[in-house]
Amino acid sequence: MSALVVAHNTYREAIRDRVLLGILVAGFAVLALTQILKPLALGEGLRLTVDLGLSTITFLGLMVVLLVGAGLVSKEIERRTIYNLLARPLPRAAYLAGKWAGLSAALWCVALALGTGLATLVALMGHAGYVGAIIEAVYLEGLELTVVTAIAVLFSSLSTPVLSALYTAGLFVGGQWCDDLRRLATHFPDAFGRVLTVTADVLPDLSLFNMRTLASNGTPTTLGHLLIASAYALLYCGCALALGAAALESRDFK
């Protein structure tokens, strides 16, 4: 219950922030830009629209996480607004879960708005058959942003906003290369190979949430993939938040 109150407040903070409005405007501008660039795509206008539209959702969502999420806890500590909450019967873990849930909800709204814009645009282009795959791709991107938000909240409870943003961006980039790291590990001697494998296991496997290529061909994914990706996101978020809660539990608020 108290985590929901914190989540509602965080959601309210995010949607009243001008950053989010700017991100939405930028997202729709990119969708409009795809229509201007279409004649240059040599007959691949649809692929360009879907691919660029989906990439924009991920990129802009990541921007929100880095600009808002990376300072979610540390800014509250710095501004001392956290006193208003933690001096009440609110467990620190519930506070952290609420912060994560609130920002994730705002990001889902961004993904939903831009995804709806993209799907509508594609349908207006006469390719309504692509809409199903686009919806699935947007859902997976929403999950990806939820995982990245959990990572940002974890770092935010440990460090300054700038460092949290850097660490989160680093893990986001590393998370795109998980499969490549595992493949690379097979080419190295045992010890170093094992280090690479463990690194790939610890990093968030964000390639699991990437179906942009499938969607730009109008090919839907399987229910199994969607379920596995959902379960993985839930588990990864749980672990990141548990670590963040443990870090926050031992913190003093001077």
Which residues of this protein are in contact with other proteins, per CB under 8 A? 1-2, 5-6, 8-9, 12-13, 16-17, 79-81, 83-91, 250, 252-254
Query: Would you say 91 or 170 has its CB closer to other proteins?
Result: 91
Q: Quick one: 10 or 168, whose CB is closer to other proteins?
A: 10
Closest approach of other proteins to the CB of residue 100, in Å? 17
Report the nearest approach of other proteins to the CB of residue 110 (Å): 18
CB-nearer residue toward other proteins: 80 or 194? 80
Question: In angstroms, rounded to a whole number, what is the distance separating the alpha carbons of residues 8 and 145?
Answer: 18
Residue 152, CB half-sphere, CA atoms under 13 Å: how many? 30
Q: Based on CB atoms, which residue is closest to other proteins, 9 or 230? A: 9
**Least distance between other proteins and beta carbon 237 (Å):** 23
Closest separation between CB of residue 82 and other proteins, Å?
Answer: 8
